[in-house]
Amino acid sequence: MRSWKIVAAASAALAIPIPASANLSISKLWVDFKEGDQERSDLVIRNDSQDRYYVAVTVAEIVDAGTELENKLVETDPDKLGLLVTPNQIVLEPGAIRSIRLVSLNKSLTRDRVYRVLVAPQVGALKVKDAGAENRGVAIKMLAAYDVLVIDRPKASEAKVEAQRLPGQVILTNSGNSNVLVAEGFVCPGEVRTNPDKERCKPLEAQRLYAGNTMSVSLDQPSDRLFLKTKAGSDTPPVDREF
């Protein structure tokens, strides 16, 4: 999950922080669509704070995902974007629950389309109690915004992870037409055959391998073994792989 810290402040004479708690919860951070299957989904948000939230919802397509050329493309026309997200502004009272509807408008995809839906809460002006002339300060409200990953996959989607062992590294390539999440990985000494763990092996950070992309995994010894757990979708079980 990517998150941003959004700060709302009321000015005062001295910059003495006075913390204020806040909490917006969301039902999921990864949405998968597959053409001809389930082409709509709801994000459910809940205001667990004592404040009224003004929630802004924005969507962008991720172009050239996972490469050095990756960038966000903002398009206001849902038909061109291929994704309808509604509503894009919500007033959320304390304790209230609302749904955000996501609808895929894509047809005949040959590769994934990748989106980020940013759900960002804001609050109004904060009232700071007078703590005395010597202790006046700034009220700081820290709010977490949620950056939801949305993937629209082709009907016949498949992630093909292929490995090429080279001196000092293994090159993983996704030669399929859909992405896969490398959820867990370990580089282990050659004598480790099963059940890799952090004590004997070097853990790898989770990484998403998009169609056509490659990733390199360093090896300390030529005999090292690579163990991976991959997930092809948000609702699919992990698959164990060994290279």
CA-based R_g, the chain, Å? 23
pLDDT of residue 65: 94
pLDDT of residue 21: 40
pLDDT of residue 140: 55
- Surface-to-core class of residue 193, CB atoms within 10 Å of its CB (0-12 exposed, 13-18 middle, 19+ buried): exposed
The CATH architecture annotation of domain 161-242 reads Sandwich (2.60)
Assigned CATH topology for domain 24-124+139-152? Immunoglobulin-like (2.60.40)
pLDDT of residue 10: 30
Alpha-carbon distance 160 to 175, whole Å?
5
pLDDT tens digits, residue range 22-46? Answer: 589 999 999 999 776 668 999 999 9
pTM of the model: 0.79
Domain boundaries, the chain: 24-124+139-152, 161-242
Cis peptide before 121 (omega within 30 of 0): no
Fold agreement between 24-124+139-152 and 161-242: yes
Q: Which residues of the chain have pLDDT under 70?
A: 1-22, 36-38, 124-142
pLDDT of residue 44: 96
Alpha-carbon distance 118 to 121, whole Å?
10
Whole-angstrom CA distances from 219 to 48, 106, 201, 202 are 46, 41, 11, 10
